[in-house]
Amino acid sequence: MNAPITQDVLTLPRKLPDSGRVNIIGLTRDQLREALIDAGTPEKQARMRVGQVWQWVYHWGVRDFAQMSNLAKDYRALLAEKFEIVLPEIVTRQISSDGTRKYLVRIAGGHEVETVYIPEEGRGTLCVSSQVGCTLTCSFCHTGTQKLVRNLTAGEIVGQLMLARDDLGEWPIPGAPKDETRLVSNIVLMGMGEPLYNFDAVRDAMKVVMDNEGLSLSRRRITLSTSGVVPEIARTAEEIGCQLAVSFHATTDEVRNVLVPINKRWNIATLLEALREYPRLSNSERITFEYVMLAGVNDSDEDAHRLVELIRGIPAKINLIPFNEWPGAPYKRSSNNRIHAFADIIYKAGYASPIRTPRGEDIMAACGQLKSATERGRKSRAEIAAEVG
């Protein structure tokens, strides 16, 4: 492994969380409207003021009310008294030899999550966290060994995109020709946590991110990954409408119960039923089935054949993820030959079966390796057994 190219410790200006002001970041348009009215904005003007503030914050990336030059001076002063525009802080930034950037991000209360930026040809994907830790205990996932500390707020989820744009210098410059190539062109909710166990905050954050007059990422460029929280899948289609990825990882309930223990609550058949409805409800094209390749556990030819049988009729792409090993992990990555043989069977059955290239390995930025620094948040064996048993 190469050494990471750089590791910086960045300290951004810190605002105290108990300022008593309302943080604008993460409020939906409706919530912002209400907050502006509460602060004394006349109801008749509220819609227009939302539009103005929104554009400053989310289109131009402005953090200071004083710069909102199309608002009257005393209104700017009122805003500054009642509101703030605060992002989580970047604590450290590591840049891999392949350009991947991993940010350790501190949120209120001193908790930490990770956000990863993966540059690709002509596009770039930001992998965003939705919780500190996770309540679930998928046996191959490093986050699964950490307790849930808390859900992220909508502002902390949107804030991850904004701080990545800060770091990449990706806010428009007034007067400059519009640049259509976006550094962060896609978002995947595949960092720490189970997004569907933090549904409202994730939904509100994505509403902000998708808004055309702001960050303006279309719902087709957002992929939410779930371990299979079945009751929230239809809601995701209806209330967010983004692309869906599902951590499938096994072709029998017996194996999936161990790898993705939520399968004991909603088994493969129940999950597939919900997935069949998703493309119609969300008007999206296809579902991504994520499948982690674990040597000798779920990677046989029989598994590949069973997989194509199971998903028959669902518009799908199967994303094969070479297992990212972490210290103490109970599994090994399947060999390249095995992964290719598996991919071939799926491809011949008519499905796209890309093998995910591990990115940022030198900085431990790959899927499932993201971790919070809070070691006290470790799950006990008993807790893991309770989830698994």
Q: Which of 142, 140, 105 has its CA nearest to residue 377?
A: 142
- Segment near ligand SAH (CB under 6 A); pick from 80-88, 269-277, 280-288, 321-329: 321-329
Using CB under 6 A as the binding rule, whether residue 124 contacts ligand SAH is answered as: no
Residue 169: burial class (beta carbons within 10 Å; 0-12, 13-18, 19+)? exposed
Residue with tokens 């674990």: 294
Active-site entry in 138, 141, 242, 367: 367
Q: One symbol per residue from 234 to 263: x for binding ligand SAH (CB under 6 A), - otherwise; what is it?
A: -------------x----------------
Buried b (16+ CB within 10 A) or exposed e, 312-350: eebebbbbbbbbbebeebebebbeeebbeebbebbbebe
**Distance between CA 348 and CA 335 in Å, rounded?**
20
Per CB under 6 A, the segment of 31-39, 134-142, 264-272, 309-317 that binds ligand SAH is: 134-142
User: Toward ligand SF4, which CB reaches closer, 100 or 225?
Assistant: 225
Q: Is 186 in the site for ligand SAH (CB under 6 A)?
A: no
Q: Which residues, numbered 4-43, are part of the site for ligand SAH (CB under 6 A)?
A: none
Closest CB to ligand SAH belongs to which residue?
A: 368
Active site residue 367: yes
- Amino acid at site 71: L
Kindly give the interhelix angle for 301-311 and 336-348, rounded to the nearest 10 degrees: 30
Give the nearer residue to ligand SF4 in terms of CB position, either 86 or 233.
233
Between residues 37 and 355, which has the closer beta carbon with respect to ligand SAH?
355
Residues lying near ligand SF4 in the complex (CB under 6 A) are found at 134, 136, 138, 141, 143-144, 193-194, 227, 247
Output the six-digit token pair for 157: 């989820």
Task: Give CA 263 to chain center in angstroms.
Answer: 22
Residue 160 interacts with ligand SAH (CB under 6 A): yes or no = no
Nearest distance from C-beta of residue 245 to ligand SAH, angstroms = 7
> Which of ligand SAH, ligand SF4, none does 333 bind, CB closer than 5 to 8 A by kind?
none
Q: Return phi, psi of residue 125, to 5°.
A: -115, 135
Enumerate the H helices of 116-236 as residue ranges: 154-168, 199-210, 233-235
**CA 339, CA 358: separation in Å to the nearest integer?**
13
Pair 115, 164: CB distance under 8 Å = yes
Q: Are strands 186-189 and 123-127 parallel, antiparallel or unpaired?
A: parallel
Supply the minimum distance, in Å, between the C-beta of residue 136 and ligand SF4.
4
Q: Give the shortest CB-142-to-ligand SF4 separation in angstroms.
A: 8
What mask, x for binding ligand SAH by CB under 6 A, covers residues 275 to 304? ---------------x-x------------
| Catalytic residue (choose from 84, 89, 112, 114) | 114
Q: Which is nearer to ligand SAH, 68 or 246 (CB)?
A: 246
C-beta of 232: minimal distance to ligand SF4 in Å?
13
How far is it, in rounded angstroms, from Cα 296 to Cα 300?
Answer: 7
Nearer to ligand SF4, 167 or 232 (CB): 232
**Backbone dihedral angles phi then psi of residue 154, each to the nearest 5 degrees:** -55, -40
Residues marked as catalytic: 114, 367
Residues that bind ligand SAH (CB under 6 A): 140-142, 190, 194, 225-227, 247, 290, 292, 321, 323-324, 326, 367-368
